[in-house]
A and B are shown apart, each in its own frame.
Chain A
Amino acid sequence: MARDKVVVKPPKHKIDRAYIKRYWQLYALLLIPMIYFFVFKYIPMQYVLIAFKKYSIVQKVWEMPWAKNHGMEYFIKAFSNRDFMNSLRNTIVLNLLDLVIGFPIPIIFALILNELRFKRFKKSVQTIAYMPHFLSWVIIYGLALQLFTPTDGLINMAITAFGGDPIPFLNDGKHWVGTYIGLGIWQSFGWNSIIYLAAIAGISPELYEAASVDGAGRFQKMWYVTLPGIKPTIVVLLIMALGNVIGSNFDRPFALQNNLVMEYAEVISTYVYKVGIKGLQFSLTTAVGLFQSVVNVFFLLGANWLSRRMGERGIW
């Protein structure tokens, strides 16, 4: 954003001895990161070809024979595979639920925090709310076991103490989806509120004073001053979240899933791990991964286009 200012660009340097003498150190510094990107991000792209070829452990990628059906064999296989279709459905459903339920909560939390008048107390609440973000998904799974197991989880102990029936939070598919979404919100609502708090801090206090003079109450100020003030932030983050609808994180579903709930819990990333790395079906899972990456890029490009279209800054 700071780059937007109108500057007359200095003419480009010619590449001569003076230029090299002056700038060689910067190129030397960049060399190592560039090698890193080349080796770890670009070289693996050649293996994408495996999606169209019959994988063989002894041959180089370009020596492997093309797959049947003009190389599309493994894509056809994937889309007629029940397990893959299931994981595709779960990925989209879980991400959409995360978006619809999880997106507004940090905004609401930021609005609540903004109403606190005791600075010390506010800071403590923030520190506590950021804590879950620093826990790994394995640890959160450990906590979930302690809280949610039917016989000796804290919550089910409380429910049975009041005479209710224990709820199978982790062992029944539909309940598991709720637990998954709930734990996701628990882990991230505090952290995600940081950005909204920063946006709120940027709203001019004069607007609030003017609203007070006009007799606006607490909720009217929230609705007519704070929310419009952070609208650009909300729109950008919402669009970014939309762009990730088919993306999938590995750590969270893998840590939380168990054999009883696979029907609802298997997502693309965990499917690829199990069938590919464990099951050694490299061509099939590379095809699945490629499909996911390509769709993801289109979603992101679309999201960015939408963001610009709506008069907000693009994401990049």
Chain B
Amino acid sequence: MEENSRVIRSFKTQVGDWVFVIICVLISLMCILPMINLLARSLSGTDYLVRHEVYLWPKGWNIDAYKTVLTDMKYIRAFIWTVVLTIMCTLLSLVMTTICAYPLIFENLRGRGVINIVITITMFFSAGTIPNYLLMKSLNLLDNPLVLMVPYCLSVYNMIIMRSFFYGIPDSLRESAEIDGASYFRILISIYLPLSKPVLATLALFYAVGRWNGYSDALMYMKDKNYYPLQLLLYNILNNINSVEVATQEGFSAPGLKDSLKSAIVMFSTIPILCIYPSLQKYFIHGVTLGAVKE
């Protein structure tokens, strides 16, 4: 069928096909050119940057900016801390999401309706920024590294995605295990989790990206610079907060060098995610679609 229709496609249709291809190429360029410009800047010589001659290809090959980033303990430390934080948050969130979603698929569970309502309310009404801040204060979480992990470790939206996925697993599997005398905990571990790798991968990506990219919680709750995640550090650098530090302590007085340094730091904090997401494309597309089909 496909082959036949290709043969009889008229000239007009074929021209149309190519028009769409060209549109898509332009859209793709729009998405990646900024990144390429950034890469070019981070690898360019300072003279060329000062004279505004760098467009999409590095001029005067120069990797000093990367050398600086990779030898400065401030960045390395923030990078390692953010990696550790992201891994720990993702694991914690996956556990929390699973233990919240799994019991709720049992229709016979008494109190399930009430629990669903309690959870749904939090999706629509939040106390607000200041009450949350006062809560962190009263829990002694301000300036405590735990504040970057615990308060947002369970997203109701992600829990719903996981629950929808669990609903898709045939009841018969569960029932036959029940007949064999397996406990519900056992069924979760040996039937549901092994079958849920796609949704676990998707949610791991969502949580990890959220943590890696998030900075507002650190901005509000964390004063201790040692625990700044990479994005907050980057925000301060881009806005020249502590620019004196950047300029004098590291010997960056030339404006061009500062520019390439900023580009290198942005690259440095983006690359991990850009390397990971394409391989998970199949999964997250499925995850987004599951999130849309609610009960």
Closest chain B residue, CB of each to CB of A9: B107
Chain A 107-147: CB-based contact to B (< 8 A → 1; otherwise 0): 00100110111100111111111111011111101110111
Quick check: which of A85-93, A95-103, A173-181, A271-279 contacts chain B, the rest being far away? A271-279
Question: In the complex, A3 Cα to B163 Cα: how many Å?
Answer: 12
Which of the candidate stretches B72-80, B246-254, B262-270 sits at the interface with the other chain?
B262-270
Report B9-34 CB contacts with A as 1/0, cut-off 8 Å. Answer: 00001001100110110011011101
Query: With A142-B38, A272-B129, A277-B130 in contact, is A12–B234 under 8 Å at CB?
Result: no
- Stretch of B58-66, B83-91, B193-201, B281-289 contacting A (4+ beta carbons < 8 Å): B281-289
A152 to B274, CA, bound (A): 26
Q: How far is the CA of A186 from the CA of B33 in the complex (A)?
A: 12
Residues of A close to B209: CB separation below 8 A:
134
A-B pairs under 8 A by CB, number: 256
Interface residues on A, range: 35 or more
A231 to chain B, nearest CB (A): 14
Query: Contact: B273 with A134, CB < 8 Å?
Result: yes
| CB–CB A282/B134 < 8 A | yes
| Complex contact A194–B99 (CB within 8 A) | no
Which of A131, A146, A154, A251 is the one whose CB lies under 8 Å from B31? A131
Are B130 and A47 closer than 8 Å at their CB atoms?
yes
Is B235 within 8 A of A138, CB to CB?
Answer: yes
Q: Would you call A276 and B124 a contact (CB within 8 A)?
A: no
B294 with A316: CB separation less than 8 A: yes
Nearest-neighbor residue (CB-CB) of A4 within chain B: B295
Query: Could you tell me the distance between the alpha carbons of A251 and B214 in the complex, rounded to whole angstroms?
Result: 8
Known contacts A13-B108, A33-B96; A293/B127 CB under 8 A: yes
CB-CB contacts below 8 Å: B117-162 with A: 118-120, 122, 124-135, 139, 150-151, 153-154
With a cutoff of 8 Å between Cβ atoms, the chain B residues found around residue A194 in the complex are 285, 288-289
How many residues on B have C-beta within 8 angstroms of the other chain's C-beta atoms?
91
- Contact between chains at B99 and A142 (CB < 8 Å): no
Q: Tell me which of B52, B238, B295 contacts A138 (CB under 8 A).
A: B238
0/1 interface trace, chain A 259-302, chain B, CB 8 Å (1 if under): 00000000001001100110000100110011011001100100
Is residue A167 within 8 Å, beta carbon to beta carbon, of the partner chain?
no
A143 to B32, CA, bound (A): 11
Query: In the complex, which residues of chain A have a beta carbon less than 8 angstroms from the beta carbon of B124?
Result: 296-297, 300
Comparing A24-32, A65-73, A75-83, the segment that makes contact with chain B is A24-32
Is the Cβ of B133 less than 8 Å from the Cβ of A277? yes
Most interface-central of A34, A128, A269, A289 (chain B CB within 10 A): A128
Interchain CB contact under 8 A, B262 and A142: yes
Is B99 touching A29 in the complex (CB atoms < 8 A)?
Answer: yes
A-chain residues with CB within 8 Å of residue B289 when the two chains form the complex = 194-195, 198
Which residues on the B side are within 8 Å of A136 (C-beta)?
212-215, 231, 269
Which residues does chain A contribute within 8 Å of B49, judged by CB atoms? 152
List of B residues within 8 angstroms of A6 by Cβ: none
Q: Which of A124, A131, A286 contacts B130 (CB 8 A)?
A: A286
Which B residues touch A154, using CB under 8 A? Answer: 34, 37, 55
Q: Are A139 and B234 in contact (CB under 8 A)?
A: yes
Q: Mark A166-201, 1 if CB is under 8 A from B, else 0.
A: 000000000000000000001000110011011000
Shortest beta-carbon distance, A85 to chain B, in Å?
18
B114 CB to nearest A CB, Å: 10
Contact, CB under 8 Å: A15 / B103 = no
B263 touches A146 (CB 8 A): yes
A40 contacts partner chain B, Cβ-Cβ < 8 Å = yes
Hey, which chain B residues are within 8 Å of A39, CB to CB? 135, 139
Which of A26, A29, A135, A197 is the one whose CB lies under 8 Å from B270? A135
| C-alpha gap A147/B41 in the complex (Å) | 11
Q: Which of A19, A23, A34, A129 contacts B115 (CB 8 A)?
A: A34
Q: Is A255 an interface residue (CB 8 A)?
A: yes
Tell me the complex Cα distance, A251–B153, Å. 18
Q: In the complex, are the beta carbons of B212 and A116 less than 8 A apart?
A: no
Q: Which residue of B lies closest to A275 (CB)?
A: B130
- Complex CA–CA separation, A276 to B185 (angstroms): 45
Centre residue among B129, B231, B274 by max chain A CB count within 10 A = B129
**Which residue of A is nearest B51, CB measured?**
A152
Chain B residue nearest in CB terms to A141: B238
- How many angstroms between the C-alpha atoms of A72 and B29 in the bound complex? 53
Taking the closest CB of chain A, its distance from the CB of B95, in whole angstroms, is: 9
Chain B residue numbers with a CB within 8 Å of A290 are: 128
B292 at interface by CB-CB < 8 Å: yes
A44, A254, A272: most-surrounded residue (chain B CB, <10 A): A44
B191 at the interface (CB under 8 A from A): no
Q: List 21 A-B pairs, Cβ < 8 Å.
A: A2-B167, A12-B110, A15-B110, A23-B109, A25-B183, A26-B103, A26-B106, A29-B188, A33-B154, A34-B115, A37-B118, A47-B134, A135-B270, A138-B231, A151-B52, A197-B285, A258-B239, A273-B129, A289-B128, A293-B126, A316-B294
